[in-house]
Copies of this chain bind each other. A is one copy, B any other.
Amino acid sequence: MKLYDLEASGNCYKVRLFASLANIPLEVMAVDFVSGAHKKPPLSDLNPLGQVPVLQDGSHVVRDSQAILVYLAGSHGGLAWWPAHAQGQADIVQWLSFAANEIEHSLCAARLVKKFGQPLDKSAALAKSTVVLSLLDKHLECNDWLAMSRPTIADCAVYPYVVLAPEGGVDLTPYTHVVRWVKRMEGLPGYLPKP
């Protein structure tokens, strides 16, 4: 399987992290982001949204980091990471939506402004980051993992932009339960350090 990848992208890191944890071999294809290769054919034919990561497994193509996690876990990762029953899947999808929406427009956006100079609303991103981290901290006060009392693709979807948050000017130290969860993630067999 080929992963079209950008090393610095937290969304790509979600996929590389999970593949490493679940021991799934991927052929990582570095995308020339500076020249805009992700917005031109052949990559824009694979993903009309012009984003990475994109996974290509034979003739099957999956865009969107959350969908790629579901695909890899469901087809290669085993039931530990993405169960077959509706209750567990829904518990996880709550956090996949949280990663796609709340985290994208808070921790991820703050990093895009500070590290990559993107013209986004920095103060709004920082304010939302406080809300997001407070919600996560409260959840992790009573839970070791985000869903199902064990590591799942929910943790792989949420962890990257949390651990990269300091690059956006967000301090994690007040969120003690988040910090402990970060350490638990780092202790998992096959853990892949952040880019």
> How far apart sit A102 and B97, CA to CA, in the bound complex (Å)?
11
The residue on B at minimum CB distance from A103 is: B101
A66 to chain B: which residues have CB within 8 Å?
93, 96-97
Interchain nearest-CB distance for A120 vs B (Å): 10
Instruction: Please determine whether B71 and A75 come into contact, CB atoms closer than 8 angstroms.
Output: no
The residue on B at minimum CB distance from A77 is: B86
Contact of A98 among B64, B71, B90, B121 (CB under 8 A): B64
Q: Mark A116-135, 1 if CB is under 8 A from B, else 0.
A: 00000100000000000001
Q: Mark A39-80, 1 if CB is under 8 A from B, else 0.
A: 000000000110000000000101110111011011100000
A104 to chain B: which residues have CB within 8 Å?
101
> How far apart sit A101 and B49, CA to CA, in the bound complex (Å)?
12
Instruction: Please determine whether B105 and A90 come into contact, CB atoms closer than 8 angstroms.
Output: no
A173 interface contact, C-beta 8 A: no
Q: Contacts A49-B135, A98-B64, A100-B97; is A86 near B105 (CB within 8 Å)?
A: no
A138 interface contact, C-beta 8 A: yes
Contact of A74 among B71, B75, B85, B98 (CB under 8 A): B85
A105 to chain B: which residues have CB within 8 Å?
101, 105
A20 interface contact, C-beta 8 A: no
Please tell me how many copies of the chain the complex holds: 2
In the complex, how many residues of chain A place their beta carbon closer than 8 angstroms to a beta carbon of chain B? 35
The residue on B at minimum CB distance from A84 is: B84
Instruction: Please determine whether B138 and A64 come into contact, CB atoms closer than 8 angstroms.
Output: no
A87 interface contact, C-beta 8 A: yes
A135 to chain B: which residues have CB within 8 Å?
48-49
The 3 closest A-B CB pairs, nearest first, are: A74-B86, A71-B90, A75-B86
Q: Please, could you name 12 A-B residue pairs with CB atoms under 8 Å apart, sorted by A?
A: A48-B138, A49-B102, A63-B94, A64-B94, A67-B96, A68-B90, A71-B86, A84-B84, A93-B93, A96-B100, A101-B105, A105-B105
